[in-house]
Amino acid sequence: MAIARTPVGIVGGGPAGLILCHLLRLRGIESVVLEARSRQYIEQRVRAGVLEQGTVGLLSDAGLGARMQREGLQHRGIHLRFGGVSHPIDFAALTGKSVTVYGQQEVVRDLVAAALSAGTRIEFEVTAVVLDQLSSTQPLIRYRDQRGEPQQLQCDFIAGCDGFHGICRAAIPAAALRYYEREYPFGWLGILAHAPPLADELIYTHHERGFALFSMRSPQIARHYLQCPPDENLAEWPDERIWQELERRLEGADSLVLPRGDIFQKGVTPMRSFVTEPMQYGRLFLAGDAAHIVPPTGAKGMNLAASDVRSLALALAEFYDSGSMRRLERYSESCLRRIWQAQRFSWWMTSMLHRFEHHGEFDRRVQLAELDYVTGSRVASAALAENYVGLPYQD
């Protein structure tokens, strides 16, 4: 069997892998992307939707922002709602920045189209992926292609962008890694509905029955979430029950009216925090969900993936320009500082807004005091806004 050759083998065709291959192509570095799912699946998979200003800038500067600029929804802030009252956090006034709501599946569609148009090799529906010789200067990826035929791909470097349940992190000897993890005792029941948004901005709601988030994907598609047990049975949540519970958690003196519509997708997302250290082993570099998971409360998942591969692309460009491994050797160090800052922010937002069964009345009063302080202090509001719109990249 002949062995194919590429400078960079990318395992995983989600946002991390696809952004990386595009950034490398702009630097004249070839890559091959291997994806376990079909093109149709990854282009329809609904995930994150809030893009930091830095992520928007990264995609736009790379020539990938045209449709995002046309169809994405720019948001100048959010509302924190507690005690039945909504309190605005004005990002633009506090930081001069904003965020953009543009679904992950839309980002992926743009990335796949750009990659295929430029002639980048993306192999969909690959199976039996195995990484070998990671400590050598020529690591190897073995896999079966869409037809089931065995293939081998020799690389200078491998980027593991295959998500939390992928094979890349598992290919690293267990003794070489350390994991930091927290499981939260709840999940999010999320829906997509053919309905207009409740408001112009996202509403994060603290309620005695549990957290709720009122969001959107477009002017015609609403995206809402309810705190629920992590093992919640969706069969017990018919549409009418979901709408009623959303309305209960929205109740307040302002009598907001939640627009209803046909629910066409629902699911339960467990909540966890997870970090792998280091994010590299030999010539294998982990990025995105393969290396870390954050609770969605802070809207950081896809943004961290973009930040990771931006750092990796710069490091690989330095290597191919000068032969220097300096940036590559510091890849984990440079990424992990931002990752832990995002973990802190996501943990803080999650802890402040959710109902914890083990909390007594004292703890709940402290949550309300925290919300009161954040919404009443310009300094505290600015700290939330600064983290939400995205901290500056650190090269």
Active site residue 300: yes
Q: Look up tokens 């796949």; give the residue.
A: 112
Catalytic residue (choose from 204, 225, 281, 331): 204
Residues in CB range of 218: below 8 A, 6 or more apart: 71, 73
d(CA 133, CA 156) in angstroms, rounded, equals 11
d(CA 335, CA 394) in angstroms, rounded, equals 9
CB atoms inside a 10 Å sphere around CB 153: 21
Catalytic residue (choose from 75, 79, 206, 292): 75
d(CA 184, CA 222) in angstroms, rounded, equals 26
d(CA 54, CA 68) in angstroms, rounded, equals 14
Active site residue 204: yes
Catalytic residue (choose from 184, 296, 331, 354): 296
Residues in CB range of 251: below 8 A, 6 or more apart: 84
Active site residue 15: no
Active site residue 97: no
CB atoms inside a 10 Å sphere around CB 389: 23
Indicate if the alpha-carbon torsion angle 57, 309, 68, 52 is positive or negative.
negative
Label each residue of 332-345 as H, E or C: HHHHHHHHHHHHHH
Active site residue 225: no
Check: CB of residue 375 under 8 Å from CB of residue 81.
Answer: no
Q: For strands 50-51 and 99-101, give the pairing.
A: antiparallel
Taking alpha carbons only, the member of 23, 18, 287, 253 closest to residue 161 is 287
Residues in CB range of 224: below 8 A, 6 or more apart: 190, 191, 193, 212, 213, 214, 215, 246
Instruction: Report which DSSP code applies to 126.
Output: -
CA dihedral 324, 326, 332, 337 (to 10 degrees): -140
3-state helix, strand, coil in the chain (%, to 5): 40, 30, 30
CA distances from 193 to 74, 218, 296, 322, 352 (A): 20, 11, 19, 51, 27
Q: Note every long-range contact of 140-143, with CB atoms under 8 Å and residues 24 or more positions apart, other chains counting.
A: 140/3, 141/9, 141/11, 141/34, 143/34
Catalytic residue (choose from 22, 224, 292, 300): 300
Cite the active site residues: 75, 204, 296, 300, 388
